[in-house]
């Protein structure tokens, strides 16, 4: 093979030098036209790619690709930069005629083969590595060479697969990802993502994953859940390469994928043409904005998470209904066999806790509490709430209230001054609104005695029930 010798560097063939000139004189927009033209009718067939791996794709005979290269200027509507027969012949020499690329033949020319030869030419021209992360947005030069730009993008992304799976099976697959996602306690890190209430970027704590790495990564989680490479490749496109369409946050990249990124990509593929609304949240519950990894809580942690003193914050959504207020709840005992709990108000006799039930779902590792507050005037308020792994819970309120609670002994500072004093944070003070006396610590010994007594009573009741069953 005739080559050009460059001192201190590996020899470069004359054909590759010609491809390099094409790369130096362009920015990849013509290759995007070639990509748009490339037909993807029918089922994909298995091809061999660089490195010997197997993929499903839509290969073409070289003669068809050659004709398309020669007609690119017509597709683009401009003769500027039109490829000559010699240019296209150089591309052929570096692909289907290249003995170092035996997977490319006269009968099997592939889109990755086109990308690879131009990526090689780009790297030789600019003497640096082509990084997908630097060419991941449409409109950026040489976006066409990004490895995420696959022919699978043209086959409806994941929308087609979701339609074939159906609503129930798709939700089941999403819950599998949710459960498999590692979220070890106290190991969350800060990321920047959009706050859905304000619509602005904000700091959030969660458990990001790299897309591909040794150990736990996004690809390993997806494969653990039974996803094949084709589906994973389609999701990758939506996460990194089509963010303008999928509205996945710009900070989602191969080094940092978070659960909300996965949710947003799937929202797009589930409903590519219509905006996402509350009805969609209800129907596609794993994709609801309120479903976060913090709601995952292992069953063995439930008892230790629940037992203790909680502070409840309530705020009417309509200010005309009154001011925000707070009150206390003490959970005294948990029966993991019956999945029930006993509790009382912080101030003895203020209200009674009745019918405390725990609903833990093995399919999604989420826990819901339900109970009634029985007040002296005869009123009974029924509450349901999602428990979070950080010892907080959010009430499912449809009565026009924002209602949430937090474990006082785990999440709030000790001492009245730190809770409601002048320098106390607003996020702490709100748990003592209109209940300032509660900011004084409960007698810890007295509280533990109450918990111990409640557990003894619960054990006796269990024993009596077992005796009756026998």
Q: What is the residue-wise DSSP string for 387-402?
A: EETTTEEEE---SSEE
Give the pLDDT score at 462. Answer: 44
Which of 295, 322, 354 is the last residue before a domain boundary? Answer: 295
Tell me the mean pLDDT in the region 28-35.
Answer: 89
Whether 16 and 123 map to the same domain: the answer is: yes
Whether 117 and 257 map to the same domain: the answer is: no
Give the pLDDT score at 453. Answer: 54
Q: Is 168 exposed, middle or buried (0-12, 13-18, 19+ CB in 10 A)?
A: exposed
Neighbours of 59 (CB within 10 A): 23
- Angle ∠(73,240,137) on CA atoms, nearest 5: 40
Whether 226 and 358 map to the same domain: the answer is: no
Confidence band of 367 (pLDDT split at 50, 70, 90): very high
Tell me the mean pLDDT in the region 110-127.
Answer: 94
| Interstrand relation of 340-345 and 54-57 (parallel, antiparallel or unpaired) | unpaired
Does residue 109 contact residue 59 with C-beta atoms inside 8 Å? Answer: yes
Give the pLDDT score at 463. Answer: 45
Give the pLDDT score at 4. Answer: 56
Residue 276 lies in a domain: yes
Q: Which residue has the higher pLDDT, 320 or 124?
A: 124
CA distance 451 to 343: 9
- Considering only 34-48, 112-126, 249-263, which range has the smallest mean pLDDT? 34-48
Tell me the mean pLDDT in the region 446-462.
Answer: 50
Residue 193 lies in a domain: yes
**Reduced to 3 states, what is the DSSP secondary structure of residue 325?**
strand
Confidence band of 457 (pLDDT split at 50, 70, 90): very low
Give the pLDDT score at 113. Answer: 94
Encoded tokens for 235: 């999701």
CA distance 66 to 91: 9
Whether 207 and 266 map to the same domain: the answer is: yes
Please report which helix (H) or strand (E) contains residue 357, including its range. Answer: strand 352-361
Whether 85 and 203 map to the same domain: the answer is: no
* pLDDT cut 90: percent of the chain above it: 52
Tell me the mean pLDDT in the region 331-354.
Answer: 92
Whether 367 and 386 map to the same domain: the answer is: yes
Tell me the mean pLDDT in the region 117-138.
Answer: 87
Whether 304 and 269 map to the same domain: the answer is: no
Whether 387 and 363 map to the same domain: the answer is: yes
Confidence band of 356 (pLDDT split at 50, 70, 90): very high
Asked if pLDDT for residue 271 goes beyond 90, the answer is no
- Considering only 184-193, 329-338, 350-359, 433-442, which range has the smallest mean pLDDT? 433-442
Please count the structural domains in the chain. 3
CA distance 29 to 219: 30
Asked if pLDDT for residue 16 goes beyond 90, the answer is yes
Residue 152 lies in a domain: no
Whether 169 and 226 map to the same domain: the answer is: yes
Does residue 130 contact residue 140 with C-beta atoms inside 8 Å? Answer: no
Residue reference for tokens 């449409």: 138
Which of 295, 325, 351 is the last residue before a domain boundary? Answer: 295
Instruction: Tell me the helix, strand and coil percentages in the chain, rounded to 5.
Output: 40, 20, 40
Asked if pLDDT for residue 268 goes beyond 60, the answer is yes
Tell me the mean pLDDT in the region 199-207.
Answer: 92
Global pTM reads 0.62
Give the pLDDT score at 406. Answer: 95
| Strands annotated E in 78-179 | none
Does residue 11 contact residue 5 with C-beta atoms inside 8 Å? Answer: yes
CA distance 72 to 433: 69
Whether 171 and 196 map to the same domain: the answer is: yes
Asked if pLDDT for residue 219 goes beyond 90, the answer is yes
Residue 153 lies in a domain: no
CA distance 395 to 12: 67
Does residue 163 contact residue 178 with C-beta atoms inside 8 Å? Answer: no
Give the pLDDT score at 158. Answer: 86
Q: Please, what's the largest Cα pairwise distance for the chain? A: 97
Averaged pLDDT of the chain: 86
Give the pLDDT score at 465. Answer: 42
Encoded tokens for 30: 């013509």
Beta bridge partners of 308: 331
Which of 122, 147, 172 is the last residue before a domain boundary? Answer: 147
Residues spanned by the domain of 215: 159-295
Does residue 272 contact residue 253 with C-beta atoms inside 8 Å? Answer: no
Whether 114 and 212 map to the same domain: the answer is: no
Q: What is the residue-wise DSSP string for 20-65?
A: HHHHHT--SHHHHHHHHHS---S--EEEE-TTS-EEEE--B-HHHH
What confidence tens digit (pLDDT) does each residue in 150-168 have? 787 777 678 888 888 889 9
What confidence tens digit (pLDDT) does each residue in 53-101 have? 787 789 999 999 999 999 998 888 888 888 999 999 999 999 999 999 9
Whether 125 and 171 map to the same domain: the answer is: no
Asked if pLDDT for residue 447 goes beyond 60, the answer is no
């Amino acid at each position: 093979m005739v080559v050009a010798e460059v001192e201190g560097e590996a020899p470069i063939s004359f054909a590759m030098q010609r491809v390099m000139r094409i790369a130096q004189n362009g920015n990849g927009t013509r290759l995007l036209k070639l990509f748009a033209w490339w037909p993807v009718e029918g089922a994909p067939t298995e091809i061999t790619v660089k490195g010997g791996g197997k993929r499903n794709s839509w290969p073409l005979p070289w003669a068809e690709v050659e004709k398309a290269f020669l007609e690119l200027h017509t597709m683009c509507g401009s003769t500027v930069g039109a490829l000559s027969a010699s240019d296209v012949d150089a591309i052929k020499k570096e692909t289907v005629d290249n003995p170092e690329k035996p997977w490319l033949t006269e009968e099997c020319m592939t889109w990755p083969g086109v990308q690879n030869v131009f990526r090689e030419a780009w790297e030789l021209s600019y003497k640096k590595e082509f990084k997908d992360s630097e060419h991941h947005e449409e409109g950026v030069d040489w976006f066409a060479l990004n490895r995420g730009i696959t022919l699978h993008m043209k086959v409806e992304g994941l929308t087609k697969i979701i339609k074939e799976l159906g609503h129930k099976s798709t939700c089941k697959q999403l819950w599998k990802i949710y459960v498999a996602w590692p979220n070890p306690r106290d190991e969350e890190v800060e990321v920047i993502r959009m706050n859905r209430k304000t619509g602005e970027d904000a700091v959030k704590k969660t458990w990001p994953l790299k897309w591909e790495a040794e150990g736990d990564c996004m690809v390993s989680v997806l494969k653990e859940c039974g996803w094949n490479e084709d589906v994973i490749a389609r999701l990758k496109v939506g996460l990194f390469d089509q963010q303008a369409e999928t509205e996945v946050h710009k900070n989602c990249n191969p080094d940092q994928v978070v659960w909300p990124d996965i949710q947003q990509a799937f929202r797009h593929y589930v409903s590519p043409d219509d905006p996402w609304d509350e009805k969609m949240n209800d129907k596609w519950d794993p994709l609801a904005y309120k479903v976060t990894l913090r709601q995952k809580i292992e069953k063995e942690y439930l008892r230790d998470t629940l037992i203790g003193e909680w502070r409840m914050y309530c705020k009417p959504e309509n200010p005309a209904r009154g001011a925000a207020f707070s009150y206390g709840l003490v959970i005294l005992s948990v029966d993991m066999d019956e999945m029930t709990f006993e509790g009382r108000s912080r101030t003895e006799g203020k209200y009674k806790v009745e019918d405390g039930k725990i609903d833990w779902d093995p399919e999604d590792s989420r826990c819901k509490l339900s109970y009634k507050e029985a007040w002296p005037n005869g009123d009974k308020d029924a509450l349901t709430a999602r428990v979070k792994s950080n010892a907080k819970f959010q009430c499912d309120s449809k009565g026009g209230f924002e209602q949430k609670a937090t474990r006082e002994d785990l999440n709030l500072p000790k001492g009245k001054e730190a809770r409601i004093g002048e320098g106390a944070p607003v996020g702490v003070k709100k748990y003592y609104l209109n209940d300032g006396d509660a900011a004084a610590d409960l007698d810890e010994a007295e509280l533990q005695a109450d918990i111990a007594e409640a557990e003894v009573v619960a054990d006796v009741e269990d024993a009596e029930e077992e005796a009756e069953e026998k």
